[in-house]
Each structure stands twice: as structure tokens, then as C-alpha cells.
């Protein structure tokens, strides 16, 4: 008899549970905002020894992700492609592929500078969203 596989949400919750409660709470407040900012994008989860990464992209190929949130024991960071324009100098890091900003509160994702980075990342991806009438 086959054992039933846990749901993706249950698997993700299990992976997240190894982090401190305040970090888990922050991630759980940030992810819905990212899902709204990147509707229809594929979410990929990567479990590393010291972090958990949720990447948003157009395919199931992680290297094509346009934004990612990384969960560490003491912080949460939002990552963008290094070549993305950053007119306000918000992004930090000297890696060869990505730069990031530390997220201290879910409301950080609502700041105009981060919203501008989201829009620039989507524009660069080539995705267009249909406008809906209300």
C-alpha cells in the first residue's frame, strides 16, 4: 500500500518550521504579496542547508526566475538579477548573478522602491498581463 504524499503546502511548512517563529511569520506575510505581484508565475522551492528559497519565474527552470525570497535563520532577503536597474541603490551584494535587499517587515514589499524593482523585473521578463475591466 502506498503512503500518501504530503501536500506541497505541508511539505513547505515542514521545511519552514526549522526557522525561528518570527522568521516563519515574516515569510508567511511576504509570500502572498509576492504571489500577487507575480501572478501566474511558477514558484520553485529550494531547500539548502542554511536557507530555504522560493523563486518566481516563467518556467520550472530556477535559473530563469526573476525574483526570489531567501529564508535564513536571522533574516529574509529578496533577490533580483544583478543586471536589473536599481536607480535608488537599494540592492546590495557583489555576486556574479544576483543582488538583494533585506526584508524586515512584509510592508517593505509595498515600498515604492521595491514595487519599482518588481515592475522592472516583470518588464525585463517580457511578460504582459491582460488588463481586466471592473
Q: What is the pLDDT of residues 75-100, one digit of tens each?
A: 999 999 998 989 899 999 988 889 99
Give the residue among 86, 90, 96, 88 at the shortest CA–CA distance from 77: 90
pLDDT at residue number 2: 57
Q: How far apart are CA 96 and CA 94, in angstroms?
A: 7
Mean pLDDT in the chain?
89
C-alpha cell at 79: 533577490
Quick one: 85 exposed, middle or buried, by C-beta within 10 A (0-12, 13-18, 19+)?
exposed
- Taking the CB of residue 58, how many other CB atoms lie within 10 A of it? 15
- The DSSP code for 59 is S
Beta bridge partners of 98: 81
Amino acid at each position: 500500500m502506498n503512503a500518501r504524499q504530503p501536500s506541497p503546502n505541508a511539505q513547505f511548512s515542514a521545511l519552514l518550521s526549522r526557522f525561528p517563529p518570527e522568521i516563519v511569520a515574516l515569510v508567511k506575510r511576504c509570500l502572498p504579496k509576492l504571489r500577487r505581484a507575480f501572478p501566474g508565475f511558477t514558484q520553485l522551492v529550494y531547500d539548502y542547508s542554511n536557507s530555504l528559497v522560493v523563486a518566481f519565474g516563467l518556467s520550472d527552470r530556477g535559473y530563469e526566475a526573476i525574483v526570489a525570497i531567501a529564508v535564513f535563520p536571522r533574516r529574509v532577503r529578496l533577490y533580483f538579477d544583478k543586471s536589473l536597474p536599481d536607480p535608488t541603490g537599494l540592492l546590495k551584494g557583489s555576486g556574479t548573478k544576483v543582488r538583494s535587499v533585506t526584508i524586515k517587515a512584509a510592508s517593505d514589499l509595498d515600498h515604492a522602491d521595491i514595487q519599482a524593482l518588481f515592475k522592472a523585473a516583470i518588464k525585463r521578463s517580457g511578460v504582459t498581463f491582460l488588463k481586466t475591466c471592473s
